[in-house]
Amino acid sequence: MGWWSDTGSVVDCCSWVGVSCDESGDRVVGLSIPGRGLRGSIPPSLHNLTSLSFLNLSSNFLSGPLSSFPDSNSSNLISLDLSYNRLSGSLPNTFPPSLRFLNLSSNLFTGPLSLELHINRLNGTLPPSLTNCTSLHLLNLRVNSLEGTLSDFDFSRFRQLTILDLGENHFSGLLPKSIFSCKSLTAIRLATNKLKGEVPPEVLQLPSLSFLSLSNNSLTNISQAFTILQTHQKLTTLILSKNFFNETLPPAAVSGFHNLKIMGLGGCKLYGQIPTWLTSLINLEVIDLSQNNINGTIPGWLQTLPNLFYLDLSNNSLSGGFPVELTRLPALASQQVLGHVNSSYLELPVFVAPQNASYLQYNQLATLPPALYLASNNLSGDIPVEVGNMQSIHTLDLSQNNFTGTIPASISNLTNLEKLDLSHNLLSGEIPDSLSSLNFLSSFNVAYNNLTGSIPTGRQFDTFSNQNYEGNAWLCGPPMQKSCSSSSQSPTTDSSGHKKGPNKKMIVGLILGICFGVGITLTCLAIWILSKRRILPRGDPEVFHMDIASFNSTSAGDVPKDTSGVILFPNNAKDIKHLTITDILKATEDFSQANIIGCGGFGLVYKATLANGTKLAVKKLSGDMGLIAREFKAEVEALSTAQHKNLVSLQGYCVHEGSQLLIYSYMENGSLDYWLHEKADGAARLDWPTRLKIAQGASCGLGYMHQPYNTHVTTELVGTLGYIPPEYSQSWIATLRGDIYSFGVVMLELLTGKRPMEVFRPKESRELVVWVQQLKREGKHDEIFDPILRGKGFEEEMLQVLDVACMCVNVNPVKRPGIDEVVDWLHNINVGSNSSNHRIPK
């Protein structure tokens, strides 16, 4: 019998030497057995000790790989000491994020090593001892506060290094030539530091380099940089934005860059004209020349770039008209591009900034949206009617120019269009009614033109505010405060003090628990809409598409002033007759940290216990004031009248001394995230029948919010990493199909037991959606499912839910099913019965 076995008998292991238990005596929290002559491999049964915090098996004779421990069940592990054994094989790619001490010294480990310490608060210089890690193949220290002269560090010993990411730190000095001794490098990111000097010719010593990002430094001599880099055969991504300030774009012929797909030169303040040598770069997919001083006209020969689907020429000094040739760009004029545009060839993720954001917010790109940005130039003339040929385009921004004539009705042919900005031009005539047929149009702005007539109504147009139309003296109808039947109304609107428009209805991500962790009962654990989860802004990342719009701060809207009390909704707050701000302060102990039960997109959620024992969940909004106002307004409007068993009930709200509070029903049992990923035995208690009920209930809640009278638009949406639909990466606009994607991710979470984004996992398994799709293509369906669910007889039902989830996360929004279809499919899956009559379409 091995040194550790499961005898199946009930024993008091807490009395054993080296075993520590919690106060209740039910859970093993520590295991310390050093120097006991233990032999064999580390037993897989260790993963059953889900509360284990400390493990010391050092100075024994243990052998074999670290293949099964630590794993996802080791979420409480703080200290792990396996030193002085005979363990072999490769080191695990990931360790539990709770781990604080790790000692694996004096073993027989081999193979490549990854060191990923990105997004922390590390400071100081790179330690010289790091060069002893000669087996490193990935070094990621991005987003820290590291400093020092980078060229003083010797990278030459990292012979196996393939990826180096030191972006968003405070390194200074010249580009270190020792980096170019690492012959295996395929990707380098040194963006957003304080580096200076020129790009050295030694970069050509890296034969496999495909990704190079040096953006946001103080590099000089762009002509030399291009002369050197153009001869590199493998380069696919070159991001040099925010360097070479006030230099001139190389006018001489560039004959290389034959494999280049992404070129980022935004924010350099470069002079010159759009260079003709771009015509030879036939593999280009993305060009960013924004925020420069480029003059001249937009050349029609851009249409000869067959793969170009993302072009940003905004914030320059371009003149002339909108070249009709742009409408013939093959990648924008073809619907077929939608299913193929992706950035899977990127060695490192690229980060971008959404336009018109009040502060920078970032999202890792899974796909790049077909887009054309010509904003903030001196373009004039008519918008060509041929613009309607760009059928795959998602974003069209022509704002801040001098375009005249009318808005082409042919724009209504752009059925995938999500954002259209024609503001601050000289356009006249009426807004074509046919634009109301654009089902995905989530952002529309024609402010400050010379438009006349009535504003179209119906569908998405019922959701736009008066700010999208202000500055047009003769526009009338909702949401403007000017009736089309009133000829005596003043034709002008004071933009600094515009009148109130009717409130826009906005879908809010408040279906139980994922957004703010208020919690749900076990039978309805996962009624979540994720469209309001957010990523906190961080640093100034590498940007190949700059935030170039004129930042007209978004109005907070018509948010109530101090309500001097709590406004209750009678239909929702049936058990509460009267509530004051004093009651809330007492119930939350003046918003004590001890009562925090969750974190929403714009604030913390507190548990409130009233004097009569009634419990509530109070969401206190915080952050950017304009965003808070919209969040508050949106949640009150969307959920005050919502009546559905699968939606958490908004009972009331309060505005007191500047604080905006939302009051919800309190759910006792915690959130889905807590049960799946944090509670020690939570996932084990969620068997497949329960998880299926969760998915079915969630779909009903989402279906209710997608009903026609619940108009769905939330502008400037920012999602939580892992749940964000690919198409949100540039538009940051909520759509119904975007909700379907996010719900698909939740279904995958239920099926796999994994979080949507595991930043500590290797690249190939970091994103849940990508990982699942890869295994599904390889026919490895069993590996997808949570080990807890396997072998329980529910494989057929799980496969059907997997099919539904994969259709929901299709990269092409048009190919995602509607919520009614999803509800129907899920409810035709019956646990334990033959569901073959209700097969899911492939």
Number of H helices, E strands in the chain: 13, 43
Report the half-sphere exposure of 759 (CA within 13 A, side-chain side): 13
Give the residues across from 654 on adjacent strands: 661
Helix (H, G, I), strand (E, B) or coil at 6: coil
Kindly give the residue spans of alpha helices, DSSP state H, lying in 443-498.
none
Residue 694, sorted as left (phi over 0), alpha (psi -120 to 50) or beta, turns out to be alpha
> Which position has the token pair 């996992």?
761
Report residue 171: phi and psi, to 5°: -65, 145
Taking a C-beta distance cutoff of 8 angstroms, is the pair 258, 233 a contact? Answer: yes
> Which position has the token pair 């119930």?
587
Instruction: Report d(CA 651, CA 640) in Å as an integer.
Output: 7
Taking a C-beta distance cutoff of 8 angstroms, is the pair 390, 372 a contact? Answer: yes
Bond before 502 cis per omega within 30 degrees: no
Give the residues across from 693 on adjacent strands: none
> Identity (one letter) of the amino acid at 777?
R
As a dihedral over the C-alpha atoms of residue 608, residue 612, residue 614, residue 615, rounded to 10 degrees, the angle is 20
Determine whether 839 is exposed, middle or buried from the number of CB atoms within 10 Å of its CB (0-12, 13-18, 19+). Answer: exposed
From residue 393, alpha-carbon distances to 284, 343, 370, 411, 437 in Å are 17, 17, 5, 11, 16
Q: Would you tell me how many other CB atoms lie within 10 Å of the CB of residue 837?
A: 7
Taking a C-beta distance cutoff of 8 angstroms, is the pair 187, 209 a contact? Answer: yes
According to DSSP, the β-strands at 145-149 and 170-174 are: parallel
Instruction: Report d(CA 583, CA 610) in Å as an integer.
Output: 7
> Identity (one letter) of the amino acid at 35?
G
Q: Would you tell me how many other CB atoms lie within 10 Å of the CB of residue 127?
A: 9
Helix (H, G, I), strand (E, B) or coil at 324: helix
The 28-32 sheet, strands edge to edge: 19-21, 28-32, 54-56, 79-81, 101-103
Task: For 13-150, list the strands marked E by DSSP.
Answer: 19-21, 28-32, 39-40, 54-56, 61-64, 79-81, 86-89, 101-103, 108-109, 113-116, 123-124, 136-140, 145-149
Task: For 44-176, list the strands marked E by DSSP.
Answer: 54-56, 61-64, 79-81, 86-89, 101-103, 108-109, 113-116, 123-124, 136-140, 145-149, 163-165, 170-174
The answer to whether the annotation marks 620 as part of a ligand binding site is yes
Report residue 67: phi and psi, to 5°: -95, -30
> Identity (one letter) of the amino acid at 325?
E
Give kind and range of the element (H or E) at residue 330: helix 330-333
Instruction: Report d(CA 85, CA 168) in Å as an integer.
Output: 38
The CA angle 42-46-50, to the nearest 5 degrees, is 150
Q: Which residues are annotated as a binding site for ATP?
A: 620
Q: Which residues are annotated as a binding site?
A: 620
